[in-house]
Amino acid sequence: MNNLVIDQENTGYRYSIEPFLLSDFMALLPGQSVLDIGTGCGIIPLLMVHREPTLKVTAIEIQDSSQAQKNIQQNKMEKQISLIHGDFLKEAENLEPESFDHIVSNPPYRKIQTGRINPDSGKALARHELSLNMSSLLDKSAPLLKKGGQITLAYPPERLGELMRELESRSLYPSQVRFVHGNYQAPAKIVLVSALKGKKSDFSVAHPLAVYIADETYSKEMEEIYASFNYIDRTNGVGKK
């Protein structure tokens, strides 16, 4: 299996660890159709197809998507990944209802009223809910999922209660969560959540993941996640850059 090559721009939003965590957390089956909302440089589709080459992935990005297109081409994944450059809230109207088995997103995670908005427009759009908030994301996502389909998201733990309520109000029933810590002595920084459309199931909390061990090297489990994607250029830090 070839190593993935994932380039990104030197400025603007740069992916951190969440795409690897989401791609590892997702329950993917051969031949499924997947929608990635806010694909950035295309990293989540690349990771998913590397793991399961029979997937058909649609990736949407509101910002410049030229780097995503380059990454798709240099990894020879044009047959599996189709890229849409546009605003998901508008592009969702052009997608077939109930056409996706799985929807994934590493969405803007900060409300507009919280924290300093980054002067870099790319980072600001990726971090703050300037063009896409939790409610609008779920309003447009739910109709696109097949019945029994799954949506997987990453948010800060302090928004978990809000996320659970927003999901259930649209008949998206949480099935599993996982908390991600910098190390086991630190509070969780990320929570991964999967929910099923119109299908209640036993709810489970996966064992927590520590990204680092005490000496700030990657934990064995984090190393295994990176290795499972044959990814060499390891990113640093927990949380969006």
Instruction: Count how many domains the chain has.
Output: 1
Q: Which two tokens stand for residue 213?
A: 């061990």
Q: How many residues does the chain have?
A: 241
Q: What is the pLDDT of residues 116-151, one digit of tens each?
A: 544 444 444 444 344 689 999 999 999 999 999 999
Q: For 217-235, what is the mean pLDDT? A: 82
Is residue 180 situated within a structural domain? yes
Q: What is the pLDDT of residues 37-94, one digit of tens each?
A: 999 999 999 999 999 999 999 999 998 889 999 999 999 999 999 999 999 999 999 9
Is residue 241 situated within a structural domain? no
178 three-state secondary structure: strand
Q: Which two tokens stand for residue 27?
A: 């329950």
Q: Which CATH number characterizes residue 224's domain?
A: 3.40.50.150
Is residue 130 situated within a structural domain? yes
Q: Which of 65, 17, 20 is nearest to 227 (CA)?
A: 20
Is residue 7 situated within a structural domain? no
- pLDDT for 2: 72
Is residue 209 situated within a structural domain? yes
Is residue 3 situated within a structural domain? no
- pLDDT for 164: 96
Is residue 12 situated within a structural domain? no
Q: Write the DSSP symbol of residue 213.
A: -
Is residue 13 situated within a structural domain? no
Q: Which domain holds residue 44?
A: 18-228
